[in-house]
Amino acid sequence: MKGNDIRRDRKKEHIEYFLKSSYKNRTLFEDIYIEHNSLPELDLDEIDTKTEFLGKRVDFPIMINAMTGGSEISWEINRYLSQIGRKYGIPMALGSQTIALRDKTSQASFKIVRDIIGEDGVVIANLSGHASPEEAKYAIDMVNADGIQIHLNPAQELVMEEGDRNFKGILKNIEKIVTSIEKPLIVKEVGFGISKAVAEKLYNVGVRYIDVSGQGGTNFIEIEDRRNNKRDYRDLYSWGIPTALSLIQCTSIGGDLKLISSGGIKNSLDILKSLVIGAHMVGISGMLLRKLMEEGYEAADKYMGELTLKLKILMLLTGSRRVEELKRLPYKVKGELKDLLE
């Protein structure tokens, strides 16, 4: 099989084995406590969830994070996901466009996202840390993207039978991309979290957006293990940095670093907590994909509708009229998260 055929099949298998995966790690959002305000002096109608992201206004600090593209099923999934993105006025990231760098026929499954979201919406390109600056520009131009995600996924690659084994030179490469493209660059993990030390290295080469994509949701060690019959990787399923821990540690870098919280975001409380502990945006992948694939478009739409409504409710219950006010709310840390932060 040629490289792109393998890639296309792998994309389909990721969805298939993602739906079969079941191992549960914790995000540690459950260890964050935020106080209730019974005198908020606010009207639900005046709660303003709008925020700015990659130079555009978006209706909620929630985004549909990178998942798919490249195959026929991806076209269909991206069509439904972008309809949700458009309806709720939220950003959407594409799955890795590596396949579309060489296979022009696969580009339609990515371009459909911009067609549906429209020019006013936020669409984010996606490539790996091995991409060249020219490839990054090409991926951005393909969908007139507002920014590009570069994913770091060594844990996934190492468990993947056909995956990469050499991770040298990626930081230098990211520096080359960030200094040669005009659009913002987001570095993201894929579910294993970004440590403060790694975030500092990225910040020092010019990266200003980091999506921690931590542990507690989609688990690519399990997904790749299920695709691969040769070895048994079950003992590694608990590997990674819980999302809440990764986020709190990275916020201490400060400066003009903008953090995106993702990895195991399930409900509006996870979103609220992410924003209170310092995230600028919150990404969801697995929960939305599962709704769509197992229960259909209407269930996925309803899920997003409830997330947005409950975020408004929680903002009111913390006395916060605007998203920026959430960052100033006090919070307490307990349990395992507290131990890990000490």
Ligand X SMILES: Cc1cc2nc3c(=O)[nH]c(=O)nc-3n(C[C@H](O)[C@H](O)[C@H](O)COP(=O)(O)O)c2cc1C
Q: Based on CB atoms, which residue is closest to ligand X, 265 or 316?
A: 265
Residue by residue, DSSP assigns 69-133 as: -SSHHHHHHHHHHHHHHHHHT--EEPPP-HHHHH-GGGGHHHHHHHHHH-TTS-EEEEEETT--H
- List the beta bridge partners of residue 148: 125, 185
How many helices (H) and strands (E) in the chain? 15, 12
168 token code pair: 């040298």
Orientation angle between helical segments 3-20 and 72-88, nearest 10 degrees: 60
Of the candidate spans 83-91, 99-107, 133-141, 284-292, the one that interacts with ligand X by CB under 6 A turns out to be: 284-292
Contacting residue, 106, 285, 308, 318, with ligand X by CB under 6 A: 285
**293-332 positions binding ligand X, by CB under 6 A:** none
* Number of chain positions touching ligand X (CB under 6 A): 27
Q: Based on CB atoms, which residue is closest to ligand X, 308 or 320?
A: 308
Contacting residue, 212, 265, 300, 326, with ligand X by CB under 6 A: 265
303 token code pair: 């899920």
Q: Does 109 bind ligand X (CB under 6 A)?
A: no
Tell me the CA distances in angstroms from 82 to 137, 143, 178, one per residue in order.
22, 13, 27
Q: Does 91 bind ligand X (CB under 6 A)?
A: no
Contacting residue, 53, 155, 286, 303, with ligand X by CB under 6 A: 286
Phi, psi of 92 (to 5 degrees): -140, 135
Q: Does 151 bind ligand X (CB under 6 A)?
A: yes
- List the beta bridge partners of residue 261: 282
Q: Does 268 bind ligand X (CB under 6 A)?
A: no
Q: Based on CB atoms, which residue is closest to ligand X, 47 or 270?
A: 270
Contacting residue, 47, 125, 143, 190, with ligand X by CB under 6 A: 190
Tell me the per-residue interface mask from 192 to 221 with ligand X, x by CB under 6 A, - otherwise: ---------------------x---xx---
**36-65 positions binding ligand X, by CB under 6 A:** 65
The enclosing H or E element of 128 equals strand 123-128
Contacting residue, 78, 96, 173, 308, with ligand X by CB under 6 A: 96
The whole-angstrom separation of Cα 185 and Cα 146 is: 9
The whole-angstrom separation of Cα 94 and Cα 56 is: 18
Chain contacts with ligand X (rule: CB under 6 A): 14-15, 18, 65-68, 95-96, 126, 149, 151, 188, 190-191, 213, 217-218, 262-265, 284-287, 289
